[in-house]
């Protein structure tokens, strides 16, 4: 039937063109009748357009009056209006084509195809709404919802195209088989893209991170702003966007700082060996307890611990907790806390060691510079 449909269209076009040439080249051409015929067809077409457009305006106006101004702005009314506009356009197209000698078989096929497409559109609206409400009810990840909605739209669109083509007698099985062969060829030519696509689906299912999490991927720190099917988008603290292929993301180590909520910061600070670690802790704890962005509560109290005994300093470490929202400004918080700790130690007279270069004079060998880890108070001569 597809071949007969195409042949009929071609023959109809040839007849129309031939009649036009014969009419123009004829010796006894009746220009008045030709103009009247053309104007008549155009007038009928305009009348049909006006009738269907008027039908659309009357129905939408009646619905707007029944619903009121507020309800007329809802998505449901907009969808109904789009459906009525589509029906009016389809009806006008069929009636106008009938005026130009289109065969009844073609008109019936167009009408069936149009109503089939409308049915798929309505089914897509209803099912998409149900799927979306179900995923929201079960609190599914936004990335998973986006993937499911996109796949559902693709499947419904493919079925709609196949059904519409079948109304015109096309061999759908052959078309699907041809598309399958083309898909295999494209798959071999785009292996990297397909691997990223599959890796993206794996990331959306396993969910090692979500949108809004702070992560480290391939040595790149950033906040996840988008998980696409081919790439993962990160935004660094310098407001720089990094797009990492999902294949690389799935095969690399992933560090997620937001997975467990609050995050602990470890801030090192050193004091001289002659100083007391307890005295330094007593000076530093008020700084941590009064900082506005340091959390306090059960299991999250700030602490100052003796980390290690270094070569030339007693190494302490301040441990504080911050909320996930403050991960955006984590470096600023660490720098602020460290600065306040340094000022508190200076005010208490607790020495923070730093290296000096000392010169030792040997009478036999002369002057010899030696770098040793000697530390003294700031301002003393070494």
Q: What is the pLDDT of residues 47-89, one digit of tens each?
A: 767 777 777 777 777 777 776 666 656 776 777 777 777 777 7
Check residue 361 and give its pLDDT: 67
Instruction: Give the pLDDT band of residue 377 (cuts 50, 70, 90).
Output: very low
**Better-scored residue on pLDDT, 213 or 7:** 213
Q: What's the average model confidence in pLDDT over 161-180?
A: 73
Q: What's the average model confidence in pLDDT over 307-311?
A: 88
**Better-scored residue on pLDDT, 185 or 109:** 109
| Residue 40 confidence (pLDDT) above 70 | no
| Residue 137 confidence (pLDDT) above 90 | no
Check residue 370 and give its pLDDT: 52
Check residue 124 and give its pLDDT: 84
CB 213 within 8 A of CB 256: yes
**Better-scored residue on pLDDT, 319 or 104:** 319
CB 354 within 8 A of CB 373: no
pLDDT, tens digit, 9 for 90 and up, residues 111-136: 888 888 888 888 888 888 888 888 88
Check residue 380 and give its pLDDT: 41
The β-bridge relationship of strands 366-372 and 314-322 is unpaired
Could you give the percent of the chain with pLDDT greater than 90? 19
Check residue 358 and give its pLDDT: 60
Check residue 382 and give its pLDDT: 38
Q: What's the average model confidence in pLDDT over 33-51?
A: 67
Averaged pLDDT score across all residues of the chain:
76
pLDDT, tens digit, 9 for 90 and up, residues 141-168: 666 777 777 778 878 888 888 788 777 7
The pTM assigned to this predicted structure is 0.51
Residue 127, Ramachandran bin (φ over 0: left; ψ between -120 and 50: alpha; else beta): alpha
| Residue 240 confidence (pLDDT) above 50 | yes
């Amino acid at each position: 039937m597809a071949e007969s449909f195409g042949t009929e269209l071609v023959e109809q076009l040839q007849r129309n063109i031939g009649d036009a040439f014969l009419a123009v080249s004829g010796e006894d051409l009746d220009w008045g009748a030709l103009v009247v015929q053309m104007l008549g067809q155009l007038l009928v077409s305009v009348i049909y357009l006006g009738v269907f457009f008027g039908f659309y305006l009357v129905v939408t106006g009646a619905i707007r009056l029944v619903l009121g101004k507020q309800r007329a702005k809802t998505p449901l009314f907009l969808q109904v209006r789009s459906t009525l506009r589509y029906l009016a356009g389809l009806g006008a197209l069929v009636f106008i084509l009938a005026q130009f000698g289109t065969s009844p078989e073609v008109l019936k096929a167009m009408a069936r195809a149009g109503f089939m497409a409308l049915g798929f559109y309505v089914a897509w609206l209803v099912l998409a709404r149900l799927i979306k409400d179900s995923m929201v009810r079960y609190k599914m990840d936004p990335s998973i919802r986006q993937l499911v909605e996109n796949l559902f739209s693709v499947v419904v669109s493919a079925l709609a195209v196949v059904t519409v083509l079948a109304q015109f007698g096309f061999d759908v099985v052959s078309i699907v088989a041809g598309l399958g062969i083309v898909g295999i060829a494209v798959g071999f030519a785009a292996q990297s893209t397909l691997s990223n696509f599959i890796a993206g689906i794996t990331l959306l299912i396993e969910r090692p991170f979500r949108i809004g999490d702070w992560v480290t991927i391939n040595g790149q720190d950033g906040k996840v702003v988008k998980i696409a099917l081919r790439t993962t988008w990160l935004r660094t603290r310098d407001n720089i966007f990094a797009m990492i292929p999902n294949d690389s993301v799935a095969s690399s180590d992933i560090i997620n700082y937001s997975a467990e909520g609050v995050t602990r910061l470890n801030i090192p600070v050193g004091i001289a060996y002659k100083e007391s670690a307890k005295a330094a802790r007593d000076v530093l704890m008020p700084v941590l307890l009064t900082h506005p962005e340091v959390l306090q509560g059960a299991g999250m109290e700030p602490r100052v611990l003796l980390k290690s005994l270094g070569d030339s300093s007693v190494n302490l470490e301040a441990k504080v907790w911050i909320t996930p929202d403050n991960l955006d400004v984590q470096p600023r918080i660490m720098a602020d806390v460290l600065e306040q700790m340094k000022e508190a130690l200076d005010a208490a007279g607790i020495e923070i060691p730093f290296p000096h270069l000392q010169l030792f004079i040997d009478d036999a060998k002369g002057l010899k510079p030696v770098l040793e880890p000697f530390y003294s108070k700031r301002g003393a001569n070494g």
